[in-house]
A and B are shown apart, each in its own frame.
Chain A
Amino acid sequence: MKIKFKVLASIALVAVSILTLGSCTADADSPGLEYMPDMYRSPAIEVYVDYGEVRGTEIKDMKNRLSALVPPMGTVPYYGTDSATVSLMLPYFRKANIAFKQTHGMYGADLTMVDEYALAIADKNPLRLNAENSEAMFKQGKELYTAMCQHCHGEKGDGNGPMVGSGAYAGVPNYTERSVKSDGQLFYSIYYGLNTMGGHGSILNKKQIWTLVHYVRRFQNADYGKFDATGLAVVSAVAADTSKVTK
């Protein structure tokens, strides 16, 4: 009887030690041991951290329910106190067409029955190119284009980006073959989207979009935005050809 109990006891000991060892296996879902967890999980709010449970207390109202939101419609980024820049960053005054509700989402946006895309043909690019700022503008445009547009539209704007090359995406137009659009319509298309292309107004601010409008013009005319020694533009601004506007 005594021996039997000892066998049982040793088996229990073995079982406990195996369970302890077993708990050491690596779990990719666990961040590992923390030194002073209260310093890691402080109640001060940090982005993307779930505060549903802090210091062992569960707070249902603080539970992380979503990760990313677009800024509310009409949000103006802080851009200093220079009035020219500030007025440039004011919300875009053209509204998306009512049809965009089904094709482009546009949750929470003001929609209109008017074809504002057609009206946008009259809009002028508020960023004026001159001999001093042109080079910097195109340098910045290239950076933006590389990050935001190139994967579809291609490095040369020919619609052969890596996404098209890999066969994932189709139907990207070639800027160089397209009939010339007005600056305002280019802006409208980048901001709200066009056909399959989605709107980029949530990830690019207005200054960045107008910079891109300048940048893509150079795909249509290699001399666009270049200035000669006397400071005169080599080509005057690409004229908006109203007869050949493609949608």
Chain B
Amino acid sequence: MFIYLRNWCFSALTFVFLAGTFTAQAQGDALFKAKCASCHQPHKNGTGPKLFKVRQKWADEGAKDGSIYQWVNNWQNAAATDPYAKKVSTWAPSAMQAFPELKKEDVDAILDWVDAQPEPGAAGADGAAGAAGDATTDSLATEEESSMGWVWLLMGVIFFIIIIAVGGVRRQLKFAAADDAGEEVNEGLTYSEEFRTWAWKYRLYVGLATLVIVMSAIVTLFLRGYAIGVVEEYQPSQPIAFPHAIHTGTNGIDCKYCHNSVTTSKSAGLPTVNVCMNCHKQVNGRTPEQQEQIAKVYKAAGWDPAGAGKYTGKSSPIVWNKVHVLPDHVYFNHSQHVVVGGIDCKQCHGDMTKMSETAKVQPVSELNKIEGNIVLTRPTLTMGWCIECHGEKEISTGAIDTRNDGYYNEIHKRLLNNDKTLYGNYLKDGKVTVSELGGWECAKCHY
């Protein structure tokens, strides 16, 4: 009985102790998030230095006992009494906020929780490594494909040489055999004369083969002709391997955050490097490949990521290569299409949330697969493509009222006032398309 009671007491005490530790941890978590997280992280320097095992660090590097708690309450007091704290205060130009309300137990609870946080390297790198791995396999596959092409060409050459060689040997043997038999050898017969006799002998087959070859040559010529001015699949190499999938897919950044002139300007706009740095000041990449690319952003921005990180003032520009090239005689305005037309970016640019490479001109077959897109047949960025879409797209709700400055109000008014039969014709199919309100007029895009 006594033993039972003792065991019970013991386990109850253990439970109380464990629960105590657990609540302390939870309290540390909550306090860290409320007070520290906007500047500090457990394993990464940010506005403030990383806090993992910071008490031990202070003790090892000769800080006075307890000065870290004084630091949290008011760093200036700590810096005045402890030379080590004075040194820490020069870590970054931004000063830490004072937290006089945090007691020693609170600071210990926070730092206990921080010390219990595992290094994110193992778990965090998985997703990113997966994405990077996919990209590598992709490029390997394309490389293999093109090298396969060369293998076939090489084999073709070898076979051709063998055929010629065997033919030559056969010819020599024929002459030799004729010579042996004592017949007259007509060595004067050239390859072409021999070919002509052969061709005449099998004129039906030769004629058919020639017809096939000529036809395919004409077809090829036309196909190549149609490819003039078609820039589908154009994907110029860029100074930084920018993965749209990670930025707008995984991290859910709106297209308009970086391409922020899209609603107000003809051009969608490339982000200036200070926009990149709004996130990349903290995000420096998980894999070596990512770190290499982000280092280029740092170089452009003149950011030295060592320690707290600081801007050095030595910036260098990034030169991106233009992907969607329109002829100079075509006028295209992004804001008109996005604001008045209400067209989603993916109608023309494809689903960038899944595009792990740099931007390219998406072929129309890919664009058609995307849900919500108007299905078109002509190649991307050709005039046929524009015209087809202007004929299909209904004008967006709001384009004939005051919400979007009533872009079509004037045309609407004229239709109502002048010729009601014309308006009636437009409404017969139950929808008003862009082309019916002037979207097919030459001077809309060419002037």
Contact = CB atoms under 8 A, between A and B. Distances in A.
A70 B251 CA distance: 24
A167 B229 contact: no
B161 A171 contact: no
A198 B274 contact: yes
A192 B118 CA distance: 34
A48 B38 contact: no
B81 interface: no
Nearest to B48: A195
Interface string B273-285: 1110111011100
B164 A7 contact: yes
A112 interface: no
A103 B252 contact: no
Nearest to A44: B328
Contacts of B46: 170-171, 196
Given A150-B254, A151-B257, A199-B274, A28 B164 contact: no
B269 A68 contact: yes
B160 A14 contact: yes
A47 B328 CA distance: 11
B230 interface: yes
B34 to A, nearest CB: 7
A53 to B, nearest CB: 13
A25 B329 contact: no
Interface in B232-262: 233-237, 250-254, 256-257, 260
Contacts of A168: 250-251, 279, 283
Contacts of B208: none
A59 to B, nearest CB: 16
Interface in B34-70: 34, 37-41, 44, 46-47
A35 B228 CA distance: 6
Given A67-B320, A105-B302, A247-B97, A203 B275 contact: yes
Given A163-B251, A171-B40, A196-B47, A102 B282 contact: no
Given A33-B229, A40-B325, A173 B38 contact: yes
A221 B228 CA distance: 60
Contacts, number: 201
Contacts of B256: 147-148
Nearest to B253: A151
Contacts of B275: 198, 202-203
B120 A167 contact: yes
Contacts of B327: 39-40
A83 interface: no
Interface in B201-253: 224, 227-231, 233-237, 250-253
Interface stretch (B176-184, B308-316, B387-395, B429-437): B308-316
Contacts of B318: 66-68
Nearest to B301: A105
Contacts of B156: 18
Contacts of B254: 146-148, 150-151
B124 interface: yes
Contact of B153 (A21, A39, A196): A21
Contacts of A171: 37-41, 46-47, 282
B94 A35 contact: no
B270 A67 contact: yes
B14 interface: no
A39 B282 CA distance: 45
Contacts of B130: none
B272 A162 contact: no
Contact of B231 (A31, A46, A47, A162): A31
A208 to B, nearest CB: 10
A172 interface: yes
Given A46-B328, A101-B311, A103-B310, A198 B272 contact: no
A151 B329 contact: no
A161 B149 contact: no
A172 B38 contact: yes
Contact of B250 (A34, A166, A246): A166
A103 B281 CA distance: 9
Contacts of B270: 48, 67-68
A39 B330 CA distance: 10
Interface string A28-53: 11111111000111101011111000
Given A171-B39, A195-B39, A203-B275, 4 more contacts: A31-B236, A32-B234, A33-B229, A39-B328
9 contacts: A26-B233, A28-B360, A68-B271, A69-B272, A102-B310, A102-B311, A105-B301, A163-B279, A171-B37
Q: What are the 6 A-B residue pairs with the smallest beta carbon separation, nearest first?
A: A162-B252, A66-B317, A198-B278, A42-B328, A147-B256, A102-B310
Interface of B: 34, 37-41, 44, 46-47, 92-94, 97, 120, 124, 127, 146, 149-150, 153, 156-157, 160-161, 164-165, 168, 191, 224, 227-231, 233-237, 250-254, 256-257, 260, 266-267, 269-275, 277-279, 281-283, 301-303, 310-311, 313, 315, 317-322, 325, 327-329, 360
